[in-house]
Amino acid sequence: MAPMTADQQPTADDGTLPGASLPIGGSVLQRRLGAAAIELFYAHGAMATSVREITSACGLTPGALYNHFASKEDLLYVLVRDIHIQVDDAMAVALDNAGTDPIDQLSSIVRFVVAHTAGYKKQSRFANREFTVLTGGRMQEIRAIRRRMRDRLAGVLLAGANQGAFSLTGGNDQPSAALCSGIILNMCVHISEWTLEHYQQGIADLQDRYVAMALRLAGAPAARGGRRRQAIVITQPADRSSAR
């Protein structure tokens, strides 16, 4: 049987993969508005999307949005924040489940990020693109979450370097680990930018390839980097209340 192309792979965006709805802890109507907003923000950008377009997609009048969110900007912030929270929480779980081997830990994180980015393409691209629209404390909050994810991976890389599992470009030190972490995460999250529609393999194949590239970037021995691991299935952390 021929392999499924990426546009035939199950994704959360088309409803074929399970996942927590957004916003976290939102009401039914808040989640309907959130789903419509993500579709429109993904297609047109947040700045070009009107409140009327969001509510019309839900069969509601424009004023209905203000019964659930203070403004379109508030809705944008909540969605961006909650996507980042979900990814941060799930990345921490992937690391906890990987054991103590730094190579397994790096592989687990990369497999999770690739699976999320490819499986939740619209959410991922929307969150990574539209967080730049935020300002003030809201922007700082998202940057702090992104920094926490980068630092978590940098910790894995530095610990692995100290154990002899990795040989980081520039030296086995904190700056080199931070730089390598940022490169690996950017490589993974931007899968949604180059699009998957014409990729001839599945998400599991992407995971294998991205793990191999990440291990090379980290300077892992070639013999360790070539092994194939079981694909990580996307699961979302338990729902929790959302406080705007």
- 3-state SS of the chain is CCCCCHHHCCCCCCCCCCCCCCCCCCCHHHHHHHHHHHHHHHHHCCCCCCHHHHHHHCCCCHHHHHHCCCCHHHHHHHHHHHHHHHHHHHHHHHHHCCCCCHHHHHHHHHHHHHHHHHHCHHHHHHHHHHHHHCCHHHHHHHHHHHHHHHHHHHHHHHHHHHCCCCCCCCCCCHHHHHHHHHHHHHHHHCHHHHCCCCCCCCHHHHHHHHHHHHHHHCCCCHHHHCCCCCCCCCCCCCCCCCCC
In a domain, 19, yes or no: no
**Residues 109 and 171 grouped into a single domain:** yes
In a domain, 115, yes or no: yes
**Residues 100 and 213 grouped into a single domain:** yes
Report the CATH number that the domain containing residue 157 is assigned in CATH: 1.10.357.10
Task: Give me the pLDDT at residue 226, please.
Answer: 43
**Residues 57 and 166 grouped into a single domain:** no
In a domain, 231, yes or no: no
Report the CATH number that the domain containing residue 58 is assigned in CATH: 1.10.10.60
**Residues 87 and 206 grouped into a single domain:** yes
Quick: pLDDT tens for 149-167.
999 999 999 999 999 999 9
Number of alpha carbons in the 13 Å side-chain half-sphere of residue 132:
5
**Residues 104 and 191 grouped into a single domain:** yes
The domain total for the chain is 2
Tell me how far CA of residue 196 lies from CA of 84, 128, 203, 211, 233, in angstroms.
Answer: 22, 17, 9, 17, 18
CA distance 85 to 97: 18
**Residues 109 and 54 grouped into a single domain:** no
**Residues 61 and 87 grouped into a single domain:** no
Domain boundary among 69, 99, 129: 69
**Residues 86 and 52 grouped into a single domain:** no
In a domain, 137, yes or no: yes
**Residues 163 and 187 grouped into a single domain:** yes
In a domain, 188, yes or no: yes
Task: Give me the pLDDT at residue 3, please.
Answer: 39
Mean model confidence pLDDT for the chain: 86
Q: Which residues of the chain have pLDDT under 50?
A: 1-10, 14-18, 223, 225-228, 230-231, 233, 236-238, 241-244
Task: Give me the pLDDT at residue 192, please.
Answer: 76
Task: Give me the pLDDT at residue 2, please.
Answer: 40
Task: Give me the pLDDT at residue 20, please.
Answer: 61
In a domain, 9, yes or no: no
**Residues 196 and 108 grouped into a single domain:** yes
> Could you tell me the residue range of the domain that residue 56 belongs to?
24-69
* This prediction's pTM: 0.84
Domain boundary among 43, 69, 95: 69
In a domain, 130, yes or no: yes
**Residues 90 and 182 grouped into a single domain:** yes
**Residues 84 and 60 grouped into a single domain:** no
In a domain, 139, yes or no: yes
